[in-house]
Amino acid sequence: MTEAEKRALALQIMQQEQARLHSRTQSFNDQNRQQLDASLARSRSLQKALDSLAQNGITWDQLRDAYHEAFKAGHDAMLTYKLSFFYAGAAIAFHEKYDSEPKSTSDFINQMCDIAEEYTDRAAIIQQCLAETSIDTSVFDETSHQSPSRALMTSAVATRKDREAVERMKRSGITQKDLEYEKNLGYHNGWNTGAGLSVCYGCAALALHRFHGCEKDEIEQFLERIEQLQDEEISTQDIIARALEETDVDVSEIASGGPMP
């Protein structure tokens, strides 16, 4: 092959490669343009839907935030309620068992709280309690009764009623009644998430075992007594007042997330 033929072949190969690269770039750009056009179309469609929802001055974001804020409020209220019963019951049970002074009873409550801070999650506490005491406190957990949320509020599957509500709001806009409904639903669902009391009972069992030398049978009797005491009272005010009267310990602050005095 002559030098001229070699140069001609090299030029041909280079031109073919350039054409191939141009074709790939063109195809890539076409795909990008198609994706961008589809994305813009979805954005325009979404914005149109959001505008229709907000025609009464209440936006979808406000509706979503109303649900989540109410959910948190319901969840916090439920925790305060459940923990008030648990800590008051634990204080009374401890006082009955040891005829303890107020400081000793308070120390026991604080020991439970300190143990809770040692572990990263619920499963770790349950596992540790099982390892040290042979007691499975997961049986103390309540089943969650959370109702299905409306469409797009959570990851729950939307029901026909959910979809119908969204379509109605697209036509006539989100109303104040819709906003109040989301608040009520959020609070209800937050209250019904379940308190996960297995953690509390696990910490009580570990505290009894570690600091008071109790073994399985004795611990199980103590945990059962806490349950009995909670069933004997109707309201948080009643059981907190009873704990204060019988043990001279006020558990109201710690039940709402504050420190134990």
Give the model's confidence band at 56: pLDDT under 50 very low, under 70 low, under 90 confident, else very high: very high
Looking at the predicted structure, is the pLDDT value of residue 174 above 80? yes
pLDDT band for position 35 (50/70/90)?
A: low
Chain mean pLDDT for the chain: 83
Mean pLDDT across 78-90: 93
One-letter amino acid for residue 67 of the chain? Y
Helices (H), the chain: 3-53, 60-98, 102-118, 122-133, 160-172, 176-191, 198-212, 216-232, 236-247, 252-255
131 in Cβ contact with 208 (< 8 Å): no
More confident residue, 188 or 93: 93
206 pLDDT above the threshold of 90: yes
Lowest mean pLDDT among 18-27, 135-144, 240-249: 18-27
User: What's the average model confidence in pLDDT over 198-219?
Assistant: 96
Backbone torsions φ then ψ of 259, nearest 5 degrees? -75, 155
Q: Report the range out of 14-18, 140-144, 205-209 with the highest average pLDDT.
A: 205-209
Q: Residue 202's pLDDT band (boundaries 50, 70, 90)?
A: very high
